[in-house]
Structure formats: C-alpha cells, structure tokens
Amino acid sequence: MEKLQTQLSEINGMQIAQQTEIITPHQLLPEIVGLLTDRIGDEYKAHYFYKNAANWCREKAYFKAATFFEAEAANELVHADLVQKYLVDWNVLPFIPPVKMIPSFTSLIDIVNKAYELEYDLFAAYNVNSTQVFPICLATFDFLQELRIGQRQSVAEYSDLLNAAQLVNVSNNFEVLYFENQYFGG
C-alpha cells in the first residue's frame, strides 16, 4: 500500500509542469504589424468618412443616400475588426491609429467622387501590402485576399455610381434627386 502511494505521488509529480516550460507562441513580424496597423487606420478613416457622409445626406434630405452610407460606415468597422482579430490571433495587441479628418462635402456627387478615391487608394494599398508580404508571410497574404476582393468590389460599386452620374445633369437638383433615387437602393 505504501509502495503504491509512493508510485502515485511520483506519477503526480511528473504531471506538474513549470511555468517556464510553457512555449511562447509566435508573433507576426514587426514589419507586417506595421503595415496592418496602417490599414486599421485607413478602415477607421473610411468609417468616419461614410458616417459624416450619411449625416450630411440626412441633413440635406437625401434619405436613401444616407441609409446607403450608414451601411458603408458599418462595413468599414467590420473590416477594421477583421484586421484587429488577425493581429490578436497572432498574439499582437492592435494599435488603433487616431483618425484625423475634417470632412467637408459640397454635394452628393462630391461625396461619390471622394468615396471613389478613398476606395481606390485602399484597393491600391492592400495590393501593395499583398506583394510585400507574399515572400515573407503566406498566412498574411491569404488573410489579405478577402480584403483585396472587398476593395475591388467597392471600386466597381463607386465606378458604377460615377458612370451613372454621367447620365444626369448634376447641376440640376431634380436630376440629382432622380440619380439618388435610382442608384442608392430602397
């Protein structure tokens, strides 16, 4: 009985791990964290842009465009969350860069122009980042695919709106109202 007790305590002893034995998990390379942090900043900037655009449209009584841009603003937060989740999955605490923007809009067409430029710039940035990470981290390259596809769709969406704006006389309020009604859903 005593022998059995000794064997049991020996086995239990073998099962006790030390804190120092715990493996420290890998983290992303600092250069990858840096470029993804820049993109988190861009996604929040896009969120601010669309939220301001939605407020502007609602105040001017472009209610369909306001609803459209509200949805865009929400989507940008989803994108920002995707990048933050990716960093956390790789044991990196994300830094959210502060957004410095004072939005000013002169018309619904001005918003569409600026939205196109914003989306195209982000499309270009995700493409550049993808080529940068491809030789050093395929996991990040794979992760960025979803964002590249999303950006391509956004660029196409705003291209459509720019082309549609060519179909109306944008100096005529009534035609702009028709443009809004026709192309901003509802």
Extract the tokens encoding 149: 């596809």
Binds Fe ion by CB under 5 A, chosen from 56, 76, 123, 176 = 76
Q: Environment class of residue 164 by beta-carbon count within 10 Å: exposed (0-12), middle (13-18) or buried (19+)?
A: middle
Q: Contact between 42 and Fe ion (CB under 5 A)? A: no
Helix or strand or coil: residue 103?
Answer: coil
Total of chain residues touching Fe ion, rule CB under 5 A: 3
Say which residues have a Cβ less than 8 Å from residue 40's Cβ, sequence separation at least 6: 80, 83, 84, 94, 95, 96, 97
Residue closer to Fe ion by CB (options 58, 148) is 148
Binds Fe ion by CB under 5 A, chosen from 49, 79, 161, 179 = 79
Q: Contact between 51 and Fe ion (CB under 5 A)? A: no
Minimum Å gap between C-beta 80 and Fe ion is 8
Q: Contact between 119 and Fe ion (CB under 5 A)? A: no
Residue closer to Fe ion by CB (options 76, 180) is 76
User: What's the sign of the alpha-carbon dihedral 170, 184, 156, 78?
Assistant: positive
Q: Which residue ranges make up the site for Fe ion (CB under 5 A)?
A: 43, 76, 79
